[in-house]
Structures are given as C-alpha cells and as structure tokens.
Chains A and B, each alone.
Chain A
Amino acid sequence: MNISGSIFKAGLLLLFMMAMWQPVAGQDTLRTYGPRFGIDLARFVFILADPSEMGAEASVDFEIYRNLYPVFEIGYNSISESEELFNYSASGIYARAGFDYNLLSGKDRSQHHSFTAGARYGVSVFSHSAEDILILNGYWGDFEYDSYEKELKGHWVELVAGVKAELMPNFFIGWSLRYKILLNPDMDPLVKPQLVPGFGTGGKDSSFGITYSVFYKIPLFKR
C-alpha cells in the first residue's frame, strides 16, 4: 500500500465531507461542527521515560453524523538502542484511519464531551537495521557481521476506547486506550522488528497503546 497515496485520499475524503455539509439557514443551531485537530502529548512523556524512542502523532476527526467521527491519524516513530551484542535502530511513518462513536447521549446538543468506542486500521512504512553484530561461537571463533537492514511495511487493526472533554469552547483534552493486533507479524522472518511505528515496541504480535491528546476544533458552522 502506498502510504502517501492513502494520506492524500483520506485528506480528499475529509474535504469532501466538509464540502457536503451545508448549514441549515434560519434554524436554531447549537452544535458546532468542523474538523478537530489533535496532538498526542503522551509521545513527549514517553521520550522522557525512554530517550531511545522518539515519536510524534497528530490526528484529525470530523463529526460526519451525530456521534459518529471518522478519524485519521498520522505519526512518526524511531528507536535506537545499543545492546551488548548488537546495535539496533528502526524508524518510519505511519497512518491510521477509522472511526469513533460517541456513547454519551446528552440532551444538550451544545455539549461536545464524548466517551467513544471505535476501531482503526493502521499501516506503517519503516526500515530497521542491526549493526556491529557479534555472534559468540566457541568452536569456530566469534562471528562478526557488519550490518543487516531491511525496508518493511506493517499492518494492524486497533480497538479504541477514549474520552474527550471540552475544557473551553472548541478546545478539548482527552485520552484513549488501544488494543492492537498486528496482521503481518512475519514481515521479516529473520529479524522480528522491535518497533513497528504506530503499533508498538517489543516484537510482540499484539500490544496496548495509550494516547493523551489536546484538540482544537475549527468551528466551521452550527446546526
């Protein structure tokens, strides 16, 4: 899958949704609609906890139908670690597309707080490499291997639950918990990647994730 093509298509879809949405003239409009952009602050906390891993993530969603939010997320991840017998690094970009559904049924339509459940499909294009590999061998002598490198694509699905609170008009803060399942865990049968950007670290086939984000919604119209 061409990730830049996917990003472009998702952007077009968002513009199309915004263009199709016409405010109703003369109606008592209470609920604000518009694209909501977010930045994941948890990435910065993770950098403080583990400086070898870096990343950034941004998101955009849009309430296309009441309580239904198509979501698009994009980010970057990298890891660089020095082990006793080798050095490992991986880096790349990722994108996720999916939806959130708001389970809160507030009667006041001007309230935009949400408790959502949703799903994502994620794809990552990245490279990983190991250098200065030393294989201990007591029979034939230790074996040194300079560099192993491979370009990879990862695919996964996520189940997402989260909350968003509107602290000020159009300004939100929220978090999400995610359970992720890697669809192609054998993408490199020789060296299992220790980081699949956007999916997680540790070479596991499933993982949990967390985001803690701030959002700003551009108030295009009310209805």
Chain B
Amino acid sequence: MFLLLSLLAFSCTSQDICFEDSVSELVASFKTETNDIVSDTTISGVTVYGIREDQPIYLLYDSIDVSEIILPLDPHHNYSNFVFQVNNEADTLNLTLKLTHSSEVYLISYTCGFGNLFTLNDIQYEEGVIVKDTIINPLINTSLEEVDEHIWLYF
C-alpha cells in the first residue's frame, strides 16, 4: 500500500507546453480620435524595424496594412527602440518609437523556465505621424493573450 501510494505520488508530473523563445511582446493598437470618440483604425504600408545596439536592425513588419503591431521588448536595456515607416500617397514617413521600461525575471513554469516581466514607464516618439498615446496595461510578460492590449497609438 505504502509503495503503491509512493509510486502514484512520484508519477504525477505537470505537462507544460513551452515555446522555443521566451520573448515578452507589447501589443500596440492603432486608434483615431474624433470628437472624443476613439475608434480602431488600420494603417496602410507599415514597416517596423527593431533597432539593436551593435547588431543588425531587425525587420518586424514589411509594408503591410495593420490595426495593431506586436513589438518584442529588449531585456538587455531599459528601453526598446523601433523605427516606423508609413507609406502615404506622397511620401514615406519615418519616426523612431522609444519604449522605456524596467524589467525583472519571473518563472513561467518549472518546465519552460524563466521569462522577463516588463513594466512600461514611458513612450517617446517624434511628433507627426503619431499624435498621442495611452498606456492601457504597463505589465508585459511572455504570455500573450488574444485580448491583450498594452498601448494605444493615435494617428
């Protein structure tokens, strides 16, 4: 009886599904505001690069029409830099988006290991294409749910 119970106790292990990467990603939704009414919007021809120090730039989006973008955050620094390119009829508009954040490690699960938990502190960008921002949820971890929205960018 004792042996059976012992075997049962040791045979119960959790089965977690792990991803290859443990990247924490921020979801930025695109909005417009007219007469204090905020609505979703789709921006055409969006190209986004991740700017990495001492490394080649990383192409995240290549000239596509999107209403939200997902941006991986840099665990090596307290900021993450991205370059936006938006094609309009006349020209290609460029802007740099700097996300300032702090981070700490947390255990995703014993099977999957650790991830970075970011706290978004500030959003900086050149005025022009983006007119305003709102931080919806400042905490960004590796678990990206479909309903997650971290910031709104107003165009």
Interface residues of A, Cβ cutoff 8 Å to B: 42, 45-46, 49-50, 83-86, 88, 130, 133-141, 143, 145, 148, 175, 177, 189-192, 194, 202-203, 208, 210, 212
Contact = CB atoms under 8 A, between A and B. Distances in A.
B75 A137 contact: yes
B113 A86 contact: yes
Most buried by B among A138, A140, A148, A191: A140
Interface string B103-125: 01111001001111100000000
B6 A140 contact: no
A100 B74 CA distance: 56
Contact of A210 (B9, B72, B73, B114): B9
- Which range contains the number of B residues in contact with the other chain? 20 to 34
B75 A136 contact: no
A139 B12 CA distance: 35
B76 A148 contact: no
30 contacts: A42-B6, A46-B6, A83-B110, A84-B113, A85-B114, A88-B110, A133-B113, A133-B114, A135-B75, A135-B105, A135-B114, A135-B115, A135-B116, A136-B20, A136-B21, A136-B22, A137-B22, A137-B75, A138-B23, A139-B21, A139-B50, A141-B76, A143-B116, A145-B114, A148-B105, A177-B5, A190-B105, A190-B107, A192-B107, A210-B5
The 9 closest A-B CB pairs, nearest first, are A85-B113, A139-B72, A143-B75, A190-B106, A191-B107, A140-B74, A138-B21, A135-B22, A133-B114
Nearest to A85: B113
Interface string B22-57: 110000000000000000000000000010100100
Contact of A208 (B9, B23, B113, B117): B9
Nearest to B72: A139
Nearest to B1: A175
A212 B110 contact: no
Contacts of B14: 202
Given A45-B6, A130-B107, A192-B107, A139 B23 contact: yes
Interface in B69-115: 72-76, 104-107, 110, 113-115
Nearest to B77: A140
